[in-house]
Amino acid sequence: MKVLIVEDEPKLAGFIKKGLEEQAWEVDVAFDGQMGSSLALSNPYDVIVLDVNLPKINGFELAALLRRENIRTPILMLTALGTLNDKLAGFESGADDYLVKPFEFQELIVRLRALQKRNSESGPTSNVLKIANLELDLNERIARRDGHRIELTAKEFGLLEYFMRNRGRVVSRVDIAEKVWDIHFDTGTNTIDVYVNFLRKKIDKEFEHKLIHTVVGMGYILKE
């Protein structure tokens, strides 16, 4: 199971992350609502755990934003706000469950498993990475920009997926070689640059707003 934790208290976030990883779950952590939004919109998760009192975007606003973006991943609100009105606000914003701090860790595990099971039994969920008007459907292995399908080779698809999972972050040629090609980078070859150019022609050429950018001396970055 892959879980996103959006929690601004590093000690608590680290405690939850460690506990979930001991269950053999994969865990990402965001320390503010804006980072949480970016991760949730660009990565597929089985469950999202949201605090409410977050910097930049609070948990209620973030849950509502994700639902507007058609992200159907189950959301569990984990917060010290425990009044009935707080709980109602959480459910109205799009949360599927609500757990008040302080909490028993085993209860959190049980609730997350129940959410994941309920979601899996309801049928396959969308597994789509998005940035601007570019979408990458990981289930159907299809890329679209502005609604138009883009034909990609298997290697181009893998390269674009790596860029989208690392949106807003500079990735080096060494990173790409190791993560996409699964090889050690040979500085004497321009294979990476050639494939990036192939991808640019398909993703950016017909659009005024470019998404793939070169960072001289460092690598590439995918950003809006």
Q: What CATH number has the domain bearing residue 180?
A: 1.10.10.10
Which residue's structure tokens are 């138009």?
A: 148
148 phi and psi, to 5 degrees? Answer: -95, 130
Residues 74 and 149 in one domain: no
In three-state form (DSSP H/G/I as H, E/B as E, the rest C), the secondary structure along 14-71 is HHHHHHHHCCCCEEEEECCHHHHHHHHHHCCCCEEEECCCCCCCCHHHHHHHHHHCCC
* Per-residue pLDDT tens over the stretch 128-168: 888 999 999 887 889 999 989 999 888 899 899 889 988 88
CB 115 within 8 A of CB 74: yes
* Per-residue pLDDT tens over the stretch 55-75: 999 999 999 999 888 788 899
Report the candidate in 28, 26, 25, 35 with the shortest Cα–Cα distance to residue 59. 35
Interacting residues of 80 by C-beta distance below 8 A, sequence separation 6+:
53, 100, 101
* Per-residue pLDDT tens over the stretch 96-118: 999 999 899 999 999 999 988 87
Residues 167 and 60 in one domain: no
Residues 113 and 140 in one domain: no
2 phi and psi, to 5 degrees? Answer: -110, 125
CA distance 101 to 218: 43
Residues 65 and 108 in one domain: yes
Domain boundary among 89, 105, 121: 121
Q: Band of the pLDDT at 187, cuts 50, 70, 90?
A: low
Residues 64 and 135 in one domain: no
* Per-residue pLDDT tens over the stretch 21-59: 998 889 999 999 999 998 888 888 889 999 999 999 999
Residues 71 and 174 in one domain: no
Q: Residue 58: its pLDDT value, please?
A: 93
Which residue's structure tokens are 């009192």?
A: 53
Residues 94 and 142 in one domain: no
Q: Residue 133: its pLDDT value, please?
A: 92
Residues 152 and 172 in one domain: yes
| Residue 96 vs residues 67, 110, 112, 144, 196: alpha-carbon distances, Å | 11, 14, 10, 30, 40
Mean pLDDT within 189-213: 91
CB 193 within 8 A of CB 172: no
Residues 135 and 204 in one domain: yes
**184 pLDDT higher than 70:** no
Residues 50 and 117 in one domain: yes
CA distance 167 to 221: 7
Q: Band of the pLDDT at 121, cuts 50, 70, 90?
A: low
Q: Band of the pLDDT at 188, cuts 50, 70, 90?
A: low
Strand partners, 46: none
Q: Residue 50: its pLDDT value, please?
A: 94
- Containing domain of residue 19, as a range? 2-121
CA distance 115 to 110: 9
**Number of domains into which the chain is organized:** 2
Q: What CATH number has the domain bearing residue 46?
A: 3.40.50.2300
Of 6-10, 82-86, 136-140, least confident by mean pLDDT is: 136-140
